[in-house]
Structure 1
Amino acid sequence: MMSDQLQAKKPNAIDVHVGSRIRLQRALKGMSQTTLAEGLGITFQQVQKYEKGTNRVGSSRLLAIANILGVPVAWFFEDGPVSPPTPLGMGPGSGREITEFLNSAEGLSLNRAFAAIEDDKVRRKVVDLVKTLAREASA
């Protein structure tokens, strides 16, 4: 009985994943927990609990979050613990490194700066530069 109670307190892996994706998209948008909470009509503490996976997000609430953050609902489940392979043949967890990077201060900063570059040619040159630097670092 005691182990059942402990098991019930542990967040579900899918809830944790969905919460981390909410946090990621909110951060990418430069939105505070308070702003998201106000848009949903809830407290920022409730948003914190969703983002940690402590509280499950109901389907109607997840739809509202998706609308506020400007992503489809399915985006929150991508690369999740039980997601099917993507059309590109990438299996579950293959995007974990990307999610971790985008959740870092450097990743978030780099993503925002890169998205602000309007010229396609300049963006391609930045990508080429980063690839060159990565090759030199691994050599």
Structure 2
Amino acid sequence: MVHKPKIKAPNAIDVHVGSRIRLQRGLMGMSQKTLADGLGVTFQQVQKYEKGRNRVGSSRLQAIANILNVPVTYFFEEGPGYSSSPQVSGAFRELTQFLDSNEGLALNRAFMQIQDAKIRRKLIELARTLAKEPSE
């Protein structure tokens, strides 16, 4: 009888840390290759970190935090075992889900490029109208 090695599921904290790396990297408009070059690893390794398949060691996490210009604690915020007020938690989860999508990230980048505040407000109103959400 041949035993196949069990494939271990990624740890929930490793998955969360990876998603936070991806989120911050995306918010900065940084490619996986650029982050990988800064760390001295391959972009495939960065992919594995971001998916939680490979655990990020403490010194490597500090290096990632430095490159992404965030404190190390950023990677653990809202993760398993993290406690905050329910209102902050819900809003943060919503924001993270939005920015974790390709569309959300692209929309955020484009929106931040609009210099005129009046146009940004009009765009928000358009989005609310399209979503059939009442204005505040």
- The TM-score bracket by the shorter chain reads 0.7 to 0.9
- The aligned residue for residue 46 of structure 2 is 47
- The aligned residue for residue 19 of structure 2 is 20
- Unaligned ranges ≥5, structure 2: none
- The aligned residue for residue 88 of structure 2 is 90
Match of 2:132 among 124, 131, 135: 135
Contact between 1:18 and 1:51, CA under 8 Å: does it hold in 2?
yes
1:109 paired with 2:128, answer no
Q: 1:20 to 1:31 in 2, by over 3 A?
A: same
Give the drift of 1:64: 1.3
Give the drift of 1:99: 2.0
Q: What pairs with 1:28-39 in structure 2 (closer than 5 Å)?
A: 28-39=27-38
Query: How far apart in 1 are the matches of 2:26 and 2:133?
Result: 31
Query: How far apart in 1 are the matches of 2:64 and 2:133?
Result: 41
- The TM-score, its normalising length taken from structure 1, stands at 0.77
- The aligned residue for residue 11 of structure 1 is 10
Contact between 1:26 and 1:69, CA under 8 Å: does it hold in 2?
yes
Contact between 1:25 and 1:69, CA under 8 Å: does it hold in 2?
yes
- The aligned residue for residue 77 of structure 2 is 78
- Unaligned ranges ≥5, structure 1: none
Give the drift of 1:28: 2.3
Question: May I ask how many residue pairs the two structures share in their alignment?
Answer: 130
- The aligned residue for residue 100 of structure 1 is 97
Give the drift of 1:107: 0.7
Q: Identify the range of structure 1 (66-75 vs 94-103) with the bigger mean alpha-carbon deviation.
A: 94-103
Q: Which runs of 4+ in 1 moved over 6 A?
A: none
Give the drift of 1:89: 4.1
- The TM-score, its normalising length taken from structure 2, stands at 0.79
Query: How far apart in 2 are the matches of 1:62 and 1:75?
Result: 11
Contact between 1:34 and 1:43, CA under 8 Å: does it hold in 2?
yes
Q: Identity over aligned residues, as a percent? A: 67
Query: How far apart in 2 are the matches of 1:72 and 1:124?
Result: 31
